[in-house]
A and B are shown apart, each in its own frame.
Chain A
Amino acid sequence: MKITIEEVEHVARLARLEVSPEEKENLTEQMNRILDYMEKLNELDTTGVDPTSHVVDLHNAFRVDAVKKSLPRDQTLENAPEANEGEFVVPRVI
């Protein structure tokens, strides 16, 4: 077993997901099967191999540091589940 049901709960908390007892069991079983398969990568010796995070040789993509027009506030808020007086509304934090 690579991952226990408690670890699945922990990862769900990190991922901001709520999982039902049934989902938890399914996920534990499925993630174990998938992670077992990932073991395959350990057949390869990758000592000294640089990781690839970007496939094309591009370095810093600079742009001019200037103020540009952005979306107007009312359009930005149009998709908000809840907004008031030009602000996003969220449950009370403090």
Chain B
Amino acid sequence: MQLYELTIHELRKLLDTGETTAVEVTESIYNRIKKVEPKVAAYLSLAEERAMEEAHGWDKQGFGDRTKPLAGVPLAVKDVICTRGIRTSCGSKILANFVPPYDATVVLRLKEAGCILLGKTNMDEFAMGSSNENSAFGPTRNPWNVKYIPGGSSGGSAAAVAADECIGAVGSDTGGSIRQPASHCGVVGFKPTYGRVSRYGLVAFASSLDQIGPITKDVRDAALLLQAIAGYDQNDSTSVPRDVPNYAQNLLEGLKGVTFGIPREYFIEGLDPEVERAVQNGIRTLEGLGAKSVEVTLPHTEYGVAAYYIIAPAEASSNLARYDGVKYGHRNREGKTLMEMYRRSRSQGFGAEVKRRIMLGTYVLSAGYYDAYYKKALQVRTLIRRDFLKVFEQCQVLVAPVAPTAAFPLGEKVNDPLQMYLSDVFTLPASLAGIPGISIPCGFTSAGLPIGLQIMAPHFEEGLALRVAYNLEQNTDFHHHRPPLDS
């Protein structure tokens, strides 16, 4: 086994017992990155010098400090999360030279826990996309087959984890941007409850939906990483002042007494038969472990795409108004008037999908259309949220596919935005309702592409989602498979 293949919990053990050092593992990962990056393109920037310094620091200091649960663990961070002194581009030309003067709360917490920051991962521009093809710096490729998309928008983070270019990573999820790429890359991705993790320093896309979460090689790692970043932050007025339970501790409890719901609306026409079979196998495994299943209904599921693609662009059009060429970011220097400067800077700086969403969002918020689109979508959001509240009276968690198909080939949907939006159908409802959802590997297609299974839980029941996911994972071996990158 190579050092770069380790999980967080495996590495922590080896560091504690002195069987390896932070320098050895960090070097091993940068060598791995140099080897596979030409194929995968998961990173937008690397912080090698600084990371090696930190690794030396940990080796000198030792690993005895129990308040540093992630001491010496090298991680990757999505490029939408501010890192002091390290470029944060959001995958956009408009922020190509932006170097934040502060750390996001999540980054501060990871540093406090002892992590080593390897670099920043590729993404769809401003987290808008499901394929990573909207990155202004070129797409990340799926490590399982480099002709395929890795998913998006946290495609760089998911691919970096799958390709062993980091020990673990964090991403952000607005409508599925952690769960879907995790599913397509065969790794674990966890979107916590809205408000569980601080958004301070996360560059805003759709503020009522954005949430940061872990992307890892297994479920235990997701629990450890979430533990480090979760909890109230006074810098984010939407973060929730609520105690954070010990997530790793309850993983070991079995599934006796757990009832999970199978939502009928997630097993519909358009669901790829191979994906369905793999998810059904997961369901059988859970039943075999003593969990009870019950068929349930979430009748407003099919309205999720329409509601989301009104709400998210509306919020984005407002959030992205800040990119005006004045305080930071790209400025066009030919514009003679202030207005010309604004318009030219923005038009040159934003890519096609971002412009499309700004246009859609501006339209649905404009005079005369607000009630017909925006208010209507917010009302439908209420109906979707109520569906979940009701169904959680019958069962404790929900089990469903993450995406209707496995990863698709690069270029397939890039000219058809609506088709791209429709591929988010199974991840959007949990985002709109603000509930936690985890994606874990549950099989492969005949072409060798990974398939994910989604477990959704009620607000703040991250522990339950992790426990069910852990039990399933420990009784399958999909998380031990590695992409064929070395051949």
Please name 12 pairs of A and B residues whose Cβ atoms are closer than 8 Å in the assembled complex, sorted by A.
Answer: A18-B343, A30-B417, A30-B418, A34-B309, A41-B303, A41-B376, A43-B303, A44-B300, A49-B382, A52-B378, A79-B98, A80-B328
Q: Taking beta carbons and an 8 Å cutoff, which residues of B are in contact with A?
A: 97-99, 101-102, 193-195, 208, 234, 237-238, 240, 300, 302-303, 305-307, 309-310, 317, 321, 324-331, 335-344, 346-347, 350, 355-356, 358-360, 362-363, 366, 373, 375-383, 385, 417-418, 421, 432-434, 459
Query: Is A54 in contact with B307, judged by CB distance below 8 angstroms?
Result: no
Query: Is B358 in contact with A15, judged by CB distance below 8 angstroms?
Result: yes
Query: Is B194 in contact with A56, judged by CB distance below 8 angstroms?
Result: yes
Which residues on the A side are within 8 Å of B240 (C-beta)?
A: 56, 58
Give the contacting residue for A41; candidates B98, B307, B329, B340; CB below 8 A. B307
Query: Is B306 in contact with A40, judged by CB distance below 8 angstroms?
Result: yes
Residue of B195, B325, B360, B432 with most partner-chain A CB within 10 A: B360
Identify the closest chain B residue to A71 (Cβ).
B101
Give the contacting residue for B359; candidates A27, A46, A49, A54; CB below 8 A. A27
Give the contacting residue for B324; candidates A16, A35, A75; CB below 8 A. A16
Query: Is B317 in contact with A15, judged by CB distance below 8 angstroms?
Result: yes
Query: Is A81 in contact with B329, judged by CB distance below 8 angstroms?
Result: yes
Enumerate the 6 nearest inter-chain pairs by beta-carbon distance, A residue then B residue, closest first.
A55-B434, A51-B378, A81-B331, A79-B328, A61-B237, A46-B379
Residue of A15, A34, A50 with most partner-chain B CB within 10 A: A15
Interface string of A24-63 (1 = CB under 8 A from B): 0001001101110110111110100111111110100101
- A3 interface hit (Cβ, 8 Å): yes
Query: Is B99 in contact with A78, judged by CB distance below 8 angstroms?
Result: yes
Give the contacting residue for B385; candidates A18, A42, A43, A55; CB below 8 A. A55
Interface of A is mostly: loop
A16 vs B382: C-alpha distance when bound (angstroms)? 32
Identify the closest chain B residue to A38 (Cβ).
B306
A30 vs B342: C-alpha distance when bound (angstroms)? 24
Query: Is B194 in contact with A17, judged by CB distance below 8 angstroms?
Result: no
- A82 interface hit (Cβ, 8 Å): yes
Identify the closest chain A residue to B377 (Cβ).
A41
CB B243 to nearest CB in A, in angstroms, measures: 15
Give the contacting residue for B331; candidates A15, A16, A82; CB below 8 A. A82
Which residues on the B side are within 8 Å of A88 (C-beta)?
A: 326-327
Which residues on the A side are within 8 Å of B331 (C-beta)?
A: 81-82
Identify the closest chain A residue to B325 (Cβ).
A81
Identify the closest chain A residue to B434 (Cβ).
A55
CB B298 to nearest CB in A, in angstroms, measures: 14
Known A31-B360, A46-B376: A90·B346 in contact at CB below 8 Å: no
